[in-house]
Amino acid sequence: MSRNSEHDTREHLLETGERLCMHRGFTGMGLSELLKTAEVPKGSFYHYFRSKEAFGVALLERHYAGYHQRLAAHFASGEGNYRDRLLAYYQHTLNQFCQQGIISGCLTVKLSAEVCDLSETMREAMDKGASGIIALLADALERGRDERSLTFTGAALTQAQVLYALWLGANLQAKISRSAVPLESALAHAQHMIVAPV
């Protein structure tokens, strides 16, 4: 088997696993279902991953790598100034929820409560991924303050942690209530937290 085809099969398993996890959760996704859906022979799984838990860690690492890349690109070259880009990040999720009625594409929202008590290595991967998002938010806040498009109180990292926690909580509450109201409230609060200078 060539290195490219090995990488392709591994990537295909992870991509399929992420789709299944978004629907069923991590514990609800059986390996048999994963392999059948991915059309990969049963014995092949352990060639790529030593356990389902190791698969879960790789799944989260892949998810966050893509998320960080998209978010960094958005902050670096999105429309408007840094305040516009920060608020657009939140507005996008709100728009998506209003269109689809669900929070889609975020493994943090889907898996956080489930895997944090189940697996320490998966919890660590999730924590590392969230820390990367918070660092990107902090950098965007600093750049926004430098360009004078926004102002906020306190350290950028502290503010980024609050903004991330606010949005994660709003996403979870929107999922529970099946209502956009928590996201709308969180966005309004974020607009007050990172105000445009007068």
Q: What would the pLDDT profile of 78-88 be if each residue is shown by its tens digit?
A: 999 999 999 99
Q: Report the b/e string of 124-148 with b at 16+ CB within 10 A.
A: ebbeebbebbbebbbbbbbbbbeee
Q: Measure the N-to-C terminal CA separation of the chain; round to a whole number of Å.
A: 62
Q: With a cut of 80, say whether residue 104 has pLDDT above it.
A: no
What domains are defined for the chain? 1-48 (1.10.10.60), 61-193 (1.10.357.10)
pTM: predicted TM-score of the whole model, two decimal places: 0.88
pLDDT bin (cut points 50, 70, 90) of residue 103 is: low
CA distance 8 to 14: 10
